[in-house]
Chains A and B, each alone.
Chain A
Amino acid sequence: MEEVSGNTASELLNLLIDGELESSKEVSLYASLTENDELRNELRELLAIRESIHKDTEAFTPPKSTKRAVLTAVGLTPGAVANAPITEVAIQAGFWSGFWTKVWVPVVSAVVATIITSLLFINFYDSGKYVSTPGNSIKKTPVAGSTEKPASDIQTQIVSSKENIQSIKKNRKFGFTNTSYIEPVPNVIYNEENTGGDNHPAQPIEIASLGTDSYKPKNMNYSGAMGIGIPIIALNPNQYASLNNGKLSDLDITLILRGISAKSYPTVYMPSQWNPVISNFSLGGYVTLVDGLDVGMEFGQENFGLVYFNYETNKIDKKNPYFYWAGIGMKGKVTKHIDILAGAKPFVQIFAGGTNIGPHLRMAGGLEYSWDSGLGFIMGIEGSSLFYNIQNKWKSTEKLGFTYGVLYSF
Chain B
Amino acid sequence: MDKEFENLSDTELFRVLNTDGARSGKAFEEIYTRYSPRVFAYCRRFLGIKEEAEDVLQETFIRFYNSRLQPREMSNLAAFLLKIARNQCVNALREHKHDARYDDAIYVRHDERDETDELLNLIKMAIELLPDEYKEIFIMREYNGLKYSDIAYITNQAINTVKVKIFRAREKIRQILQPYLSEISK
Contact = CB atoms under 8 A, between A and B. Distances in A.
Contact of A74 (B28, B36, B124): B28
A314 B26 CA distance: 26
Give the dominant DSSP class at A's interface: helix
Contacts of B148: 18, 20
Contacts of B117: 55
B41 A67 contact: no
The B contact surface, by secondary structure, is helix
B167 A11 contact: yes
B116 A84 contact: no
A67 B44 contact: no
B174 interface: yes
Contact of B62 (A19, A46, A49, A316): A316
B143 A67 contact: no
A53 interface: yes
Interface stretch (A58-66, A226-234, A272-280): A58-66
B2 A66 contact: no
Interface string B136-175: 0000011100011000000000000001001100100110
Interface size class of A (residues with CB under 8 A): 35 or more
Nearest to A91: B22
B54 A62 contact: yes
Interface in A74-102: 74, 76, 80-82, 84-86, 91, 94
Given A48-B181, A70-B58, A84-B22, A53 B28 contact: no
Contacts of A41: 185
Contacts of B36: 62, 66-67
Interface residues of B, number: 49
A73 interface: yes
Given A50-B142, A59-B44, A73-B62, A84 B25 contact: yes
Contacts of B142: 49-50, 53
A71 interface: yes
A74 B62 contact: yes
A43 B43 CA distance: 28
A55 B22 CA distance: 36
What 6 A-B pairs have minimum CB-CB distances, sorted nearest first? A62-B40, A84-B26, A59-B41, A60-B37, A52-B120, A74-B65
